[in-house]
Chains A and B, each alone.
Chain A
């Protein structure tokens, strides 16, 4: 087949193949090019020796460096964990109310808290921490059990209404309707009264009757002004935030069948540093209260409502 001939202008032999009139000169390769080819072959042999390369019956050759993608992932994960260790130790060693003063540490703690929140808290509080009916919105400045960093930390560590946890946040609102303490008419009056406090129900005889019933039954926890009491986690009934809904039937429902929301005591489930970071994250969402300004006293309950 090969039809070698000498190309006249260059005086070089052709390789003897022709493609639609195009022929190729049989010029010798430059020697450096050939050397480079041999070097790549040597490299490939070395590569096959040190890295996994040849498939065998069950697995493959391991290579003398024992490299594997799983091993690399483990090394990377370990490196990432080691890189965090120092920061986590610093967070653990710093009292929680002082972390905010260290801006860099605070940023890292909030980021860590955000990650932990995504794993542990979003199921109830939502991925944006905005909560829903029955699950508090953590972004607002309305706090049931207190909104300064220590109070949030306390709530997170010991949970709410956790049996067997001595320091858990606990209180019990009677089911006024179900237990027959108030009859349905009275429940309706109280509902009208508390809604009227934030302008959600017009003044009426029912509201006036409700005020009297409220004074007799509710002030122990919700306070005479109905602004709540954090000691019992009793919500402020005069503001715009309604954990169980602000519709008339929702309020009637709450009085008839009292709610007793629960939250796990994270102290037994997460390590102390993670809980600290979670508390800092929740505190940083825009509604956190200043630790110095809001000492842990029930009287401070309505200070939290100070408007900007």
Chain B
């Protein structure tokens, strides 16, 4: 048991953030992080500006979430609200994809692709650009406030604000036509919600990326907690191989005492480069987002002192155990395939295949019929029986389509609509349905006197080359026995 003197007593009920000044580092994982950052930021900023020709009746933005018109466009795919299961399916795939990634390579999402990580990384590069590397940053932090420090802080925070503003500005481009929204935005004509969204996202990016940084990962984000449950001893995590590194000692000490000192030279580089300020040598911890920058730092030190790389490396707990007992290090590629990753891959692919199949098989026209039930029927002066229906014709193509609605069943039945004279009632009517629309149609159906209550069908057929159709069965009410 430790004695109370050994412990730093909490002097306050709350604790100031211990600022982290990560040192710049180069190496394979850093270069991979550059790539991921360029890719993710590129996708984020460029996507809304891609164009996609859908003809004259639909927007030409490749990716557009058109909330006002309840449409979601993604390249050649257009999703209507009733097809939202495609989006739900994509979200489920994203979820299972995260399980898969976590199960295989641990917190790779946290370390490379999470927006919090990407923007924090970006802001830390801004720090280095303005203030210099770790040591210069530490000096400036300790320096008293003066014109020099004020200028540097002002400049840095302005750049933060600039980046934050463009982050929020890019977000709204997904919800409206990007070029015209940009024009409206700067001329003050955009919707209030656009300005509010940009304002909120600017503020959160500025605050979370510029100042909160690793505290978001450590205190706020639920994902690290969930991930703890998804990692197992077969998942790759960033590990300090203590059996190889301990006891720590300088190179000189090792020369004096060969065999008595481990590979770790206690240079602290792994801590200095860590974006959350954690010492990986204390073992796995929620503060490690597995960005692998400490691996790069350690590898370069190991190269300088002429020792093999990988004192800190991606390894599974199982590998650690066998290595500790003298086993060979397993190549990382072998660690990727185990039962859980294969199951996740299978489920993920199955959902993807099902969605693709549903996408290929979905109909592009629909008929939905609602019968007037009050009154159930109307007796015409001729003695004929009339039933009224609201027929909704859905055209999901982005071009007008000629369609034909026909009565199937109901002997002697004929129909007319509000757009034609009663005298032209017929078994079948032709309608031109507007592109990308649901056209409601009032349809009056009459059947000869003496017709009894029965069911019949409205058959919808597209009369153009593409064809296709749909059927809706409805009820026809008539006066019962004894009423007439």
* A and B are partners in one complex rather than unrelated chains: yes
Chain A positions 12 through 41: 1 when the CB is less than 8 Å from some CB of chain B, otherwise 0: 110000000000001111111110000000
Please report the C-alpha to C-alpha distance between residue A142 and residue B382 in the assembled complex, in whole angstroms. 9
Decide if A240 touches B379 in the complex (CB within 8 Å). yes
Decide if A8 touches B1 in the complex (CB within 8 Å). yes
Q: B9 CB to closest chain A CB, in angstroms?
A: 7
Decide if A286 touches B383 in the complex (CB within 8 Å). no
Chain B positions 362 through 395: 1 when the CB is less than 8 Å from some CB of chain A, otherwise 0: 0000000000101100111111101010000000
A151: B residues at CB distance < 8 A: none
Please report the C-alpha to C-alpha distance between residue A150 and residue B6 in the assembled complex, in whole angstroms. 99
User: Within 8 Å of chain B (Cβ to Cβ): is A306?
Assistant: yes
User: Within 8 Å of chain A (Cβ to Cβ): is B186?
Assistant: no
Please report the C-alpha to C-alpha distance between residue A276 and residue B424 in the assembled complex, in whole angstroms. 28
Please report the C-alpha to C-alpha distance between residue A13 and residue B3 in the assembled complex, in whole angstroms. 11
User: Within 8 Å of chain B (Cβ to Cβ): is A308?
Assistant: yes
Which chain A residues have a beta carbon within 8 Å of chain B's beta carbons? Answer: 6, 8, 11-13, 26-34, 126-130, 137, 139-142, 198, 236, 239-241, 284, 286-287, 290, 304-308
Q: Chain A interface: which of B28-36, B42-50, B414-422?
A: B414-422
Which chain B residues have a beta carbon within 8 Å of chain A's beta carbons? Answer: 1-4, 6-10, 12-17, 212, 215, 219, 372, 374-375, 378-384, 386, 388, 414, 416, 418, 421-425, 442, 444, 446, 449
Please report the C-alpha to C-alpha distance between residue A128 and residue B388 in the assembled complex, in whole angstroms. 12
16 contacts between A and B (CB under 8 A): A8-B2, A27-B15, A29-B15, A30-B15, A32-B17, A127-B374, A140-B379, A140-B381, A141-B422, A239-B381, A240-B379, A240-B449, A286-B388, A286-B444, A305-B381, A306-B423
Most A-side CB within 10 Å, residue of B6, B372, B379, B442: B379
B379: A residues at CB distance < 8 A: 137, 140, 240-241
Decide if A13 touches B15 in the complex (CB within 8 Å). no
Decide if B7 touches A30 in the complex (CB within 8 Å). no
Known: A30-B219, A239-B381, A286-B386. A13 touches B9 (CB 8 A): yes
B446: A residues at CB distance < 8 A: 308
Decide if B215 touches A32 in the complex (CB within 8 Å). yes
Please report the C-alpha to C-alpha distance between residue A304 and residue B12 in the assembled complex, in whole angstroms. 92
Known: A6-B4, A26-B10. A33 touches B381 (CB 8 A): no
Q: B115 CB to closest chain A CB, in angstroms?
A: 19
Decide if A13 touches B381 in the complex (CB within 8 Å). no
Q: B374 CB to closest chain A CB, in angstroms?
A: 3
Q: A120 CB to closest chain B CB, in angstroms?
A: 17
| Closest chain B residue, CB of each to CB of A11 | B7
A31: B residues at CB distance < 8 A: 14-17
Q: How many A-B residue pairs have CB under 8 A?
A: 109
Decide if B382 touches A139 in the complex (CB within 8 Å). no
A306: B residues at CB distance < 8 A: 422-423
Decide if A29 touches B386 in the complex (CB within 8 Å). no
Instruction: Name the one of A26, A284, A308 contacting B422, with C-beta atoms under 8 angstroms.
Output: A308
Instruction: Name the one of A128, A239, A308 contacting B375, with C-beta atoms under 8 angstroms.
Output: A128
Majority DSSP secondary structure for residues of A touching B: loop
Please report the C-alpha to C-alpha distance between residue A284 and residue B384 in the assembled complex, in whole angstroms. 19
Decide if A239 touches B378 in the complex (CB within 8 Å). no
Known: A28-B12, A286-B444. A130 touches B375 (CB 8 A): yes
Shortest beta-carbon contacts, A-B, top 7: A128-B374, A130-B375, A239-B381, A308-B425, A240-B383, A28-B15, A142-B381
B3: A residues at CB distance < 8 A: 6
Please report the C-alpha to C-alpha distance between residue A18 and residue B436 in the assembled complex, in whole angstroms. 64
Decide if A130 touches B374 in the complex (CB within 8 Å). yes
Please report the C-alpha to C-alpha distance between residue A139 and residue B446 in the assembled complex, in whole angstroms. 13
B386: A residues at CB distance < 8 A: 139-140, 286
A307: B residues at CB distance < 8 A: 380, 382, 384, 423
Decide if A33 touches B425 in the complex (CB within 8 Å). no
Decide if B16 touches A290 in the complex (CB within 8 Å). no
Decide if B388 touches A30 in the complex (CB within 8 Å). no
Decide if B423 touches A11 in the complex (CB within 8 Å). no
Decide if A240 touches B9 in the complex (CB within 8 Å). no
Decide if B17 touches A30 in the complex (CB within 8 Å). yes
Decide if B13 touches A29 in the complex (CB within 8 Å). yes
Q: A111 CB to closest chain B CB, in angstroms?
A: 13
A139: B residues at CB distance < 8 A: 375, 378, 386, 388
| Closest chain B residue, CB of each to CB of A130 | B375
Known: A6-B7, A126-B375. A30 touches B14 (CB 8 A): yes
A28: B residues at CB distance < 8 A: 10, 12-15
Please report the C-alpha to C-alpha distance between residue A28 and residue B16 in the assembled complex, in whole angstroms. 9
Decide if B382 touches A33 in the complex (CB within 8 Å). no
Please report the C-alpha to C-alpha distance between residue A32 and residue B14 in the assembled complex, in whole angstroms. 9
Please report the C-alpha to C-alpha distance between residue A73 and residue B144 in the assembled complex, in whole angstroms. 57
A137: B residues at CB distance < 8 A: 375, 378-379
Please report the C-alpha to C-alpha distance between residue A8 and residue B421 in the assembled complex, in whole angstroms. 91
Q: B39 CB to closest chain A CB, in angstroms?
A: 31
A33: B residues at CB distance < 8 A: 14, 219
A13: B residues at CB distance < 8 A: 7, 9-10
| Closest chain B residue, CB of each to CB of A308 | B425
Known: A32-B215, A130-B378. A11 touches B6 (CB 8 A): yes
Q: B201 CB to closest chain A CB, in angstroms?
A: 19
A12: B residues at CB distance < 8 A: 7, 10
Please report the C-alpha to C-alpha distance between residue A137 and residue B444 in the assembled complex, in whole angstroms. 16
| Closest chain A residue, CB of each to CB of B415 | A308
Decide if B12 touches A290 in the complex (CB within 8 Å). no
Decide if A141 touches B219 in the complex (CB within 8 Å). no
B219: A residues at CB distance < 8 A: 30, 33
Q: B144 CB to closest chain A CB, in angstroms?
A: 22
In the complex, besides A26-B10, A28-B10, A32-B212, 6 extra interface pairs with C-beta distance below 8 angstroms are A6-B1, A8-B2, A11-B8, A12-B7, A126-B374, A305-B382
Please report the C-alpha to C-alpha distance between residue A31 and residue B12 in the assembled complex, in whole angstroms. 10
Please report the C-alpha to C-alpha distance between residue A305 and residue B212 in the assembled complex, in whole angstroms. 80
Please report the C-alpha to C-alpha distance between residue A240 and residue B381 in the assembled complex, in whole angstroms. 5
Please report the C-alpha to C-alpha distance between residue A239 and residue B382 in the assembled complex, in whole angstroms. 6
Instruction: Name the one of A11, A34, A141 contacting B380, with C-beta atoms under 8 angstroms.
Output: A141
A142: B residues at CB distance < 8 A: 380-381
Decide if A240 touches B380 in the complex (CB within 8 Å). yes
Please report the C-alpha to C-alpha distance between residue A305 and residue B383 in the assembled complex, in whole angstroms. 11
A198: B residues at CB distance < 8 A: 383
